[in-house]
Amino acid sequence: MLILSRRAEESIIIADTITVKVVSIEKGVVKLGIDAPHNIRVLRSELVRAVEDSNKEASHLHDESLLQQLVQKLKL
């Protein structure tokens, strides 16, 4: 992992197409501005983890009952 120090209004460039700029730093919170091509998704990691956890939980809880429901519908 590369660790860099940046001040407000400073930025880094990734792969010539993505710019990450420190917009502000207030009360221990850093606000970043990210400029990237539209074909590159930029997501907060906690949202990705929450969706992954939700998907795992749903698949474990409902696999058997959903399969049984589908089988019943196909028999009708």
Instruction: Determine the residue type at 5.
Output: S
Per-residue model confidence (pLDDT) at position 61: 58
pLDDT digits (tens, 9 = 90+) for 13-59: 999 999 999 999 999 999 999 999 999 999 888 888 888 887 777 77
pLDDT band at 7 (very low <50, low <70, confident <90, very high): very high
Q: Where are the domains of the chain?
A: 1-39, 43-76
For residue 1, pLDDT over 70 is answered with yes
Per-residue model confidence (pLDDT) at position 52: 81
